[in-house]
């Protein structure tokens, strides 16, 4: 199915989707790194604000929760932290020139993963 879509995109849309295994390896590496950094950033910011983060894994979900109540403004800071911090980090690293494909995948993965966090912040506002 992926091959058919890639062929269609190449033939009819002029998009070269050369499906090499290395692209998938870079994407998989980016997903693993970003998930760890994303949830770690949530937990790190929560710990800096005085809360005790608890990390969990229920495939396909990786998450962080807290042992006690978290005030609204703290929750907003914890929720938006990975979007702000990791977007800046991956954007900066991308601009440095090395491993552009990895940092591009990482930036996109983090932005996609931050959609729910941004929704939470908007709901709290």
pLDDT in tens, 42-59: 999 999 999 999 999 998
Structure tokens at 25: 């390896």
Q: Strand, coil or helix: what is 59?
A: coil
pLDDT band at 14; cut points 50, 70, 90: low
Cα 43 from Cα 55, distance rounded (Å): 8
pLDDT of residue 49: 97
- pTM of the full predicted structure? 0.80
**SS3 helix, strand, coil % of the chain, rounded to 5?**
70, 10, 20
pLDDT of residue 99: 83
């Amino acid at each position: 199915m992926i091959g058919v879509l890639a062929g269609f995109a190449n033939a009819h849309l002029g998009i070269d989707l050369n499906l090499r295994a290395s692209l998938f390896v870079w994407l998989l590496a980016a997903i693993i790194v970003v998930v760890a950094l994303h949830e770690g950033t949530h937990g790190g910011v929560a710990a800096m604000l005085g809360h005790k983060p608890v990390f969990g894994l229920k495939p396909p979900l990786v998450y962080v929760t807290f042992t006690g109540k978290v005030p609204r403004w703290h929750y907003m800071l914890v929720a938006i932290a990975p979007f702000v911090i990791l977007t800046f980090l991956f954007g900066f690293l991308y601009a440095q020139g090395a491993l552009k494909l990895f940092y591009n995948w990482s930036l996109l993965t983090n932005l996609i993963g931050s959609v729910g966090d941004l929704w939470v912040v908007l709901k709290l506002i």
